[in-house]
Amino acid sequence: MGVVAAKLTNLVLPTRDLDRVEAFYRDIFGFEPFHRDQTCRFLRTGATHLVFVLSQEATSGVCLDLSVADLELAASALEGAGVAFTREADMLVLRDPDWSLVEVVKG
């Protein structure tokens, strides 16, 4: 029997533009920046940390599921920021600045 992980705390993702991806997750989803340098950005919400590292590699294929308290408020924030999204069942589906898929659900 293997070790069972209790929870995910850090997710490291490549980005081509540190400032742009930081602003996206900070301004739209409320992630708090807590470390930044020339090669990376650390953002957090609760116990979850997103770590973006500067890379010129393609980033497609990544999918983040974010849970929000108010789906309509999230939709309004996305619209206000000019972010294109679609509604699928009980979720909002969009792409972040590095073209990673983001699914926003109420929860």
Question: Could you state, in order of their start, the residue ranges of all structural domains in the chain?
Answer: 10-106
Q: 59: pLDDT confidence band, cut at 50, 70 and 90?
A: low
pLDDT at 62: 82
In which residue are the tokens 């206000």 written? 80
Mean pLDDT over 17-25 rounds to 95
Integer Cα distance of 22 and 32 in angstroms: 9
Q: What is the mean pLDDT of the chain?
A: 88
Q: What is the pTM of this model?
A: 0.83
Integer Cα distance of 70 and 33 in angstroms: 22
* Fold held by 10-106: 2,3-Dihydroxybiphenyl 1,2-Dioxygenase; domain 1 (3.10.180)
